Structures are given as structure tokens and as C-alpha cells.
Amino acid sequence: MPIFEYKCSDCGKQFETLVRSGTQPVCPACGGSYLAKQLSVFAPGVSGGGSGSAAQQSDSQVGACGHVCGSGCSLH
């Protein structure tokens, strides 16, 4: 099941969700179904595709959650 990022056209909430084939995702905030799929951005070093692990990144790049996601992390 792939994870997709969406932005709700009704309330503006951005979120990620697992999408099973044949299902239509809905906004977790308002229940709206008018969603715009967003482009996913992969952070280097998070899943072995970069030059180092999160522990090797500088503190300015590591979010409060401990991941290399910055302050706008939508996973937490």
C-alpha cells in the first residue's frame, strides 16, 4: 500500500495517508473528499539514498522528532 500526500480543497489541511487500491481517501480533519495529490519530497540520507544517516546530519537539519524532516514534518 503506497503512502500519498494530499491537500484538502475544502479545509486546506495537508496530510499523508495509506491508500488501498479501489478506495478513495478522505480528509482526516473535515471528512472532505476533494483532495489534491501533492508531490512527495524525499530527504537524502533517510532511507539509504543519501550521503549519511540522520545521526550524521547537523542539528539544524534534524527536526524535533529526530528525523531529517525539519520543522514542517507532517508525519508526526
What pLDDT digit, counting tens, does each position of 21-68 carry? Answer: 888 999 999 999 999 999 876 666 655 544 544 444 444 455 555 555
pTM for the predicted model, two decimal places: 0.51
Does the pLDDT at position 18 exceed 60?
Answer: yes
C-alpha cell at 35: 483532495
Fold annotation for 1-39+61-76 = Rubrerythrin, domain 2 (2.20.28)
pLDDT at position 16 is 92
Name the E strands within 1-76. Answer: 3-8, 14-18, 35-37
Q: Count Cα atoms within 13 angstroms, Cβ side, for 44.
A: 6
Q: Which residues pair with 7 in a beta bridge?
A: 14, 36
